[in-house]
Amino acid sequence: MTVKAFAPAKINLTLHVTGQRSDGYHLLDSLVVFADVGDSVTLTPGPELSMDVVGELAAGVPADHRNLVWKAAKAVGWTGHIELEKALPHGGGVGGGSADAAAALTALSAQGVPIPQDVPLSLGADVPVCISAKSTRMQGIGDALTPVPLPHLPVVLVNPGVSVPTQSVFAALSARDNTPMPDVIPDLATPQVCAQWLRNQRNDLENPALQCAPEIAGVLDELEQTSSALLARMSGSGSTCFALYPTMKDAHLAAYDIGAAHPDWWCRATRLN
């Protein structure tokens, strides 16, 4: 039976790099949320694996064994046709590939396909948290997940059309033993309170990403200058950035202004939860 799954964008409100293991894996402490925009994955059983990538942002996304959805299907022994509709920027720091793989695994599990416990993390550090698809504190190498209640957060997501390889960003990171978030995350009841607390937190990959893609600085500047913006920051390893707003009306107005000024940028007003 054909199944379709939604793969929401993953946004790192914070991303503290707190260490590196001897096997090369980085230790993280990140507050992760998910947006109302995302890709979609359609799975149709068949005798062998095949894949098409479609949609407005399909360019540059592999449709073979290099794709994480393909790897996820192969890891659990599923065969058939995969159609991936891309609505999220490729290499944009919003977990597109990880979210796609997580959506596929969730859909296959719902169809009775056994998912070995080690498969999600073997595909990437973000895949387990993308399976949960709810506001979460992600620690370790992505294996320690703690739910964190957050309010709905109006946001604008902006990508300047630049793909930033994650490996290049980590290679440019000057310090790998930075401080984690506080042990206890307080009650962040409103977007305003959330933004105020986030100002004292970081994305440790923002500065190295700026070295790899200076265009990110222009995006952050544009977001900071929009009316009612509470906080602007880069997500993940870039190049997508976000700004938080008090209301969805504020977010839509900001997205309109940025879209009018930069029609070549990917820009979406959405809600994080």
Euclidean distance between CA atoms 35 and 202, whole angstroms: 20
Q: Is the dihedral of CA 265, 266, 271, 273 positive or negative?
A: negative
Q: Is the dihedral of CA 64, 66, 72, 75 positive or negative?
A: positive
Catalytic residues: 10, 126
Residues 6+ apart with CB under 8 A from 200: none
Q: Which domains does the chain have, with CATH numbers?
A: 3-147 (3.30.230.10), 153-272 (3.30.70.890)
Q: What H or E segment, with its residue span, contains residue 206?
A: helix 206-212
Backbone torsion region of residue 236, taken as left when φ is above 0, otherwise alpha when ψ lies between -120 and 50, otherwise beta: left
Euclidean distance between CA atoms 75 and 59, whole angstroms: 25
Question: What's residue 237's pLDDT?
Answer: 94
Q: Is the dihedral of CA 11, 17, 18, 24 positive or negative?
A: positive
Is beta strand 26-45 parallel, antiparallel or unpaired with respect to 50-54? unpaired
Instruction: Return averaged pLDDT per consecutive 10 residues of the chain, 273 residues in all.
Output: 96 98 95 97 98 95 97 98 96 92 97 97 96 97 97 97 92 95 97 98 97 96 98 96 98 98 97 93
Question: What's residue 99's pLDDT?
Answer: 97
Question: What's residue 95's pLDDT?
Answer: 86
Question: What's residue 91's pLDDT?
Answer: 84
Q: Are 188 and 226 in contact (CB under 8 A)?
A: no
